[in-house]
Amino acid sequence: MKKILISLFFVSCTTLVHAQIKDWALGLKIGQPTGLNIRKYGDRNAFDVNIGTYGGLFGGTSDYRKGRLKGVGFAINANYLWYAPAFKERMSLYGGVGAQLTSRKYYPDINSTANDRSIGIGPTVVGGVEFLSKRSPYSLFVEGGLYAELLPAFFYLSPQLNAGLRYNF
């Protein structure tokens, strides 16, 4: 009887841990944007927030309005995602929409070192794939998307591509 109770206890603990693997995730994204990643999972959806840097992956300089953006800036990105399990739930495909707030140095005159802090906001679209492990709470992911700034530079497009690691709990 004692062995049966101990076995049931371990099975229930394993089941509980497996059920909790998709409640929350905390991780690190490397790419565009780079930063701390927090994700809250639902039944077939998730809310994903990234806080970190912006402008480093595709070069630190880009044409912007009548001048240039230079250097790496700060970004906060939030997306609402829909996902679908694949390959016996060891992989998850996802896509979604959201918004991004950015801040970078803007040089209105490309021949001068005078700069302003440019704060932008706009929608994002994202798609990705997450690789899950049955034996580990960690998952690997690769995702890509697009940021389309609305203010102050209407329809300034910035591609986004990153990969990372999440701890699911």
pLDDT band at 56 (very low <50, low <70, confident <90, very high): confident
pLDDT band at 25 (very low <50, low <70, confident <90, very high): very high
Least confident of 11-15, 36-40, 131-135: 11-15
The contacts of residue 8 (CB under 8 Å, 6+ apart) are none
Kindly report the number of other CB atoms within 10 A of residue 155's CB atom. 8
pLDDT, tens digit, 9 for 90 and up, residues 84-142 = 988 887 899 999 999 999 999 999 998 889 999 999 999 999 999 999 988 899 999 99
What is the number of helices (H) and of strands (E) in the chain?
A: 1, 9
Domain coordinates in residue numbering, the chain:
23-168
pLDDT of residue 82: 98
pLDDT of residue 3: 53
**Topology of domain 23-168, per CATH?**
Porin (2.40.160)
Q: Which two tokens stand for residue 47?
A: 């809310």
Q: What average pLDDT does range 55-64 have in this prediction?
A: 80
CA distance 23 to 10: 21
Q: How many CA atoms lie within 13 A of 127 on its CB side?
A: 0
Q: What are phi and psi of 105, to 5 degrees?
A: -75, 125
- 75, with CB counted inside 10 A (0-12, 13-18, 19+), is buried
**Rounded to two decimals, what is the model's pTM?**
0.80
Q: Which two tokens stand for residue 10?
A: 């371990």
pLDDT of residue 88: 81
CA distance 35 to 52: 4
pLDDT, tens digit, 9 for 90 and up, residues 71-84 = 899 999 999 999 99
pLDDT of residue 58: 73
